[in-house]
Amino acid sequence: MKILVACGAGASSTFVAQRIRRLGRERGLAIDVVPTSDALLEDAARDAAVVLLGSHLASRVDSIRSRLAAVGDASVVVLPEAAFTDHTGAIALDSALDAVGIRP
Mean per-residue pLDDT of the chain: 92
Q: What pLDDT is attached to residue 12?
A: 84
User: Which residue did the predictor score with more confidence, 63 or 104?
Assistant: 63
Helices 11-27 and 90-99: angle between axes, nearest 10 degrees? 80
The whole-model pTM stands at 0.93
Q: What percent of the chain has pLDDT over 70?
A: 96
Cα separation, 80 vs 67, whole angstroms: 22
Q: For residue 92, give the nearest of 47, 25, 39, 33 by alpha carbon.
A: 33
Q: What pLDDT is attached to residue 95?
A: 96
- Domain at 2-99, CATH homologous superfamily: Response regulator (3.40.50.2300)
8: pLDDT strictly greater than 90: no
The amino acid occupying position 1 is M
Q: What percent of the chain has pLDDT over 90?
A: 79
Domain ranges of the chain: 2-99
* 16-64 pLDDT per residue, tens: 999 999 999 999 999 999 999 888 899 999 899 999 999 989 999 999 9
Q: What pLDDT is attached to residue 11?
A: 67
